[in-house]
Structure 1
Amino acid sequence: MRILIQKFGGTSVATAERRKQVAVKVSEAVSEGYVPVVVVSAIGRAGDPYATDTFLNLVRGVYPDVPRRELDLLMSCGEIISGAVMVSTLQSMGFESVLLTGGQAGIITNDNFGEARIIRVEPKKILEYLERGVIVVVTGFQGVSEGGQVTTLGRGGSDTTASALGVALEAEAIDIYTDVDGIMTADPRIVEDAQILDTVTYTEITQLAHEGAKVIHPRAVEIAMQRNIPLRIKSTFSDAPGTLVSSLQPDMSAGTDITGDRLITGIAHTPNVTQIKLAMQDSEDVRGVQKKIFKAMALAEVSVDFISVQPESVLYTVRDEVADKAAEILQNMGFKPSIIRGCAKVSIVGAGIAGVPGVMAKLVEALSEAGVDILQSADSHATIWVLVRQENMVSAVQALHKKFRLGA
């Protein structure tokens, strides 16, 4: 069987008209000789009657500290509703179809409610239906623990479901359908001439996703990469070819090119972060102090990012909404943190960065010309990050997009 995973997000299944467009995409896959497995998210977004956030607001309006087990049961309902309506839509168009919850589809997770990790997939039931010619619709974002408890997979969980099923079923490809035509060189709401990328590597899209691009969850990419299954990011509402995510370096031709000539793939940004800086005293046990700082953050469940540890100082960032909590913890430990609120992390991503001189020079030049101060920087083999004040975020993204000639 030529199995194809098709995942449709909340906006794709939000209305009857859009669900019919989804059914058309499924029909096209069948006509092309594929055996589709459809993964759906909950209908709509916050404020819509069957969206996950709507359910959460309902119960938290009664009691704010609902147990995580019960929250997972509640949050699983959105995809079940969406899946049942999607099966009805397919059947109304003459396609025999069946709905399976994550657990029924064989998605086994640990018992970390709200942020469960998939341990394995047992796709026997899915394969039985596929062999009978039945289109299987699977609820995304959820699974069951070894003990049979319903769990949810956290942010981007439906993408993760699609990739896990793709690996377990040895699918030819995993199509992630959304409301945009593909992955772009930057957020088009910020950069008018942002371009759709025809191809990106797994490494590049993982970095872009980690740094703020919201088209696909990085965990889903990492799972697909394990078996080298191509991911395709497409729009439900157009016939655009979208973006192909694979292990192949862009701009390569078989038997000719050795490396691609694309230096930078895209610009990503993450707003609403706070920089925390702690000066180390000469008399202090620096290593011991550094250990205490990050252990305290971990115990308080404060996620830290953009970490720079030096003999004379420790710098890191946290989300704006937990900045006060982080500062209070440090003050109670006897520290006097220097805090800059309202920052943004801006990243340039490209598999071609590694070993190429002058990239950082161009970045600094672009931001200097735009009047943007760099508060902190770091780099890896495929990414360079800078921290800027949030009021300069848009200018920084636009300046870098132009400097690296990513536009039309």
Structure 2
Amino acid sequence: MNIVVQKFGGTSVSTKERRQMVVDKITAVKNTGNAVVVVVSAIGRKGEPYATDTLRGLALENTPTCSLKHLDLLMSCGEIISSVVLASSLEALGYKVAVLTGFQAGILTDDTFGNADILSVDANKILPYLEEGNIVIVSGFQGATNDGEITTLGRGGSDTTATALGVALHAKYVEIYTDVDGIMTADPNVVPNAKIIDEINYDEVFQMAEKGAKVIHPKAVEIAQYGNLPVKVKNTMSAHPGTSIFSCRKNGHIPYSSKRVHRLLTAITHKDGISQVFIHLKENLQKDSQLLSALAQVTISIDMINFFVDKKVFTIATEQKHSLEEVLEDFQLEYNVLDGCSKVTIIGSRITGIPGVMATVVNALAKENIQILQSSDSHATISCLVKEDAAKKAVNLLHEAFHLDQ
């Protein structure tokens, strides 16, 4: 049995007209002889009546003390509503449909309410419905604990549902449908001439998601990579072939199209709302360790880390600044925090060991006197910290310097 998993986001099911487009995408795959599993998000976005944030707001409108467990129970309703609404449209056309919650679909999670991790997926909960010829619609973004408590998977959780089901069911591929034609070389709202990326590997798209691009959830990419599951990012509202995501190597060969062979970079991203932290701390390895442990205990994630004998420099999300300062005050440390920063990242699996990449970055930004406050790198990325008001200009300059507009 050839199984295809299709995931449709909130904008894809937000109107009757768009839901009809979704139905057309589903039936096109079903009518070619595939078994189809559909994962749906809640209808619409914040402000619309059945959107996840709207449901969450109902509970928190008058009190901020609603428990995460109760919030998960409430927020899971959005995906159930969209699942049943979509099922009714398919049933009206004569298709057999089975609607399952995440729990009914066999998705077992831990008990981290609001941001649960999937522990396992029982494929046998879905396979009988497929064998009977049903289109199976699964409510995304949700699962349940061993005790049967409903959990949600955090932002972008429906993507995670889709790839987890795809791996468990040994699907041919997963299609992630959204309102854009695919993954782009940069945010088109920032770089007007950004291009669609036709093919990309797991590592690159994971870095894009981690570094600020709103393309697909990092957890979903990790799961797909673990299962070597091909993923396609496509547009519900068009017939564009979209972006294909798969392993960096396939049968020993890098499966890039000829369009990408001459490019070092795949994409450029940026993430705002970052603060740079300077801690003046003389060499004291024990105190270093204690400080890092204390930051971890209050769930502060540090990034772009540079440790020297006399100072420690790193970045945090600005929203965590208050918690950070409380820890640093407890340690009686001298420190400075620079707010209003943005991390601009170039991404490409071919940049490792290539001379002149950083020189190109520095020269491009120097054209507009954009100062690099700090930098960090990995095997496939180089990140530069700049002032937030210069970030969009920096992205455009780098996009042009590395010829991503061609």
What TM-score do the two structures reach when normalised by structure 1?
0.95
> What's the counterpart of residue 54 of structure 1?
54
> What's the counterpart of residue 331 of structure 1?
329
Report if aligned partners of 1:185, 1:196 keep a CA contact under 8 Å in 2.
Answer: yes
> What's the counterpart of residue 266 of structure 2?
265
After TM superposition, give the deviation of residue 125 of structure 1 in Å. 2.5
> What's the counterpart of residue 228 of structure 1?
228
- Distance verdict in 2 for CA 1:358–1:54, change over 3 Å: same
After TM superposition, give the deviation of residue 30 of structure 1 in Å. 1.3
Report if aligned partners of 1:108, 1:120 keep a CA contact under 8 Å in 2.
Answer: yes
The RMSD of aligned alpha carbons is: 1.7
Report if aligned partners of 1:104, 1:125 keep a CA contact under 8 Å in 2.
Answer: yes
> What's the counterpart of residue 275 of structure 1?
276
Q: CA separation in 1, counterparts of 2:52 and 2:67?
A: 16
Q: CA separation in 2, counterparts of 1:261 and 1:292?
A: 47
Q: CA separation in 1, counterparts of 2:360 and 2:381?
A: 14
- Which has the higher mean CA deviation after the structures are superposed, 37-46 or 309-318? 309-318
Q: CA separation in 1, counterparts of 2:396 and 2:287?
A: 39
The yes-or-no answer on 1:291 pairing with 2:292 is no
After TM superposition, give the deviation of residue 262 of structure 1 in Å. 2.6
Ranges in structure 1 where 5+ consecutive residues have no aligned partner: none
> What's the counterpart of residue 340 of structure 2?
342
Q: CA separation in 2, counterparts of 1:180 and 1:206?
A: 18
After TM superposition, give the deviation of residue 248 of structure 1 in Å. 4.0
Describe the superposition over 1:261-319 as per-residue Cα deviations: whole angstroms up to 9, x where unpaired: 331000011001111111222xx52x222222222222222232222222222112122
Aligned AA for 1:273? I
After TM superposition, give the deviation of residue 354 of structure 1 in Å. 0.9
1:381 aligns with one of 379, 382, 392: 379
Aligned AA for 1:305? D
Q: CA separation in 2, counterparts of 1:73 and 1:385?
A: 39
> What's the counterpart of residue 367 of structure 1?
365
After TM superposition, give the deviation of residue 116 of structure 1 in Å. 1.0
The yes-or-no answer on 1:357 pairing with 2:355 is yes
Aligned AA for 1:21? M
> What's the counterpart of residue 112 of structure 2?
112
After TM superposition, give the deviation of residue 103 of structure 1 in Å. 0.5
After TM superposition, give the deviation of residue 391 of structure 1 in Å. 0.5
- Which has the higher mean CA deviation after the structures are superposed, 27-36 or 49-58? 27-36
- Distance verdict in 2 for CA 1:400–1:249, change over 3 Å: farther
Report if aligned partners of 2:37, 2:136 keep a CA contact under 8 Å in 1.
Answer: yes
Describe the superposition over 1:209-267 as per-residue Cα deviations: whole angstroms up to 9, x where unpaired: 110111101111111111211100000000000000011469x788x99x943310000
Q: CA separation in 1, counterparts of 2:97 and 2:304?
A: 46
Q: CA separation in 1, counterparts of 2:34 and 2:134?
A: 12
Describe the superposition over 1:182-217 as per-residue Cα deviations: whole angstroms up to 9, x where unpaired: 000000001011000000011100111110111101
Report if aligned partners of 2:14, 2:44 keep a CA contact under 8 Å in 1.
Answer: yes
Q: CA separation in 1, counterparts of 2:50 and 2:117?
A: 25
Q: CA separation in 1, counterparts of 2:46 and 2:117?
A: 24
Report if aligned partners of 2:281, 2:334 keep a CA contact under 8 Å in 1.
Answer: no
Q: Which runs of 4+ in 1 moved over 4 A?
A: none
Aligned AA for 2:177? Y
After TM superposition, give the deviation of residue 2 of structure 1 in Å. 0.9
> What's the counterpart of residue 193 of structure 1?
193
Report if aligned partners of 2:181, 2:242 keep a CA contact under 8 Å in 1.
Answer: yes
- Which has the higher mean CA deviation after the structures are superposed, 191-200 or 363-372? 363-372
Report if aligned partners of 2:177, 2:234 keep a CA contact under 8 Å in 1.
Answer: yes
Aligned AA for 1:275? Q
> What's the counterpart of residue 7 of structure 1?
7
3-state DSSP of counterpart to 2:389: helix
Report if aligned partners of 1:191, 1:398 keep a CA contact under 8 Å in 2.
Answer: yes
Aligned AA for 2:97? S
Q: CA separation in 2, counterparts of 1:94 and 1:35?
A: 16
Ranges in structure 2 where 5+ consecutive residues have no aligned partner: none
Describe the superposition over 1:326-380 as per-residue Cα deviations: whole angstroms up to 9, x where unpaired: 1233123211211110100000000001111111111111111121100110101
- Distance verdict in 2 for CA 1:98–1:275, change over 3 Å: same
> What's the counterpart of residue 91 of structure 1?
91
> What's the counterpart of residue 320 of structure 2?
322
Q: CA separation in 1, counterparts of 2:323 and 2:227?
A: 41
- Distance verdict in 2 for CA 1:342–1:253, change over 3 Å: closer
Report if aligned partners of 1:344, 1:388 keep a CA contact under 8 Å in 2.
Answer: yes
> What's the counterpart of residue 100 of structure 2?
100
After TM superposition, give the deviation of residue 93 of structure 1 in Å. 2.3
3-state DSSP of counterpart to 1:337: strand
Report if aligned partners of 2:140, 2:158 keep a CA contact under 8 Å in 1.
Answer: yes
Q: CA separation in 1, counterparts of 2:81 and 2:212?
A: 29
> What's the counterpart of residue 306 of structure 2?
308
Q: CA separation in 2, counterparts of 1:79 and 1:127?
A: 21
Report if aligned partners of 1:290, 1:314 keep a CA contact under 8 Å in 2.
Answer: no
Q: CA separation in 1, counterparts of 2:15 and 2:140?
A: 18
After TM superposition, give the deviation of residue 94 of structure 1 in Å. 2.2
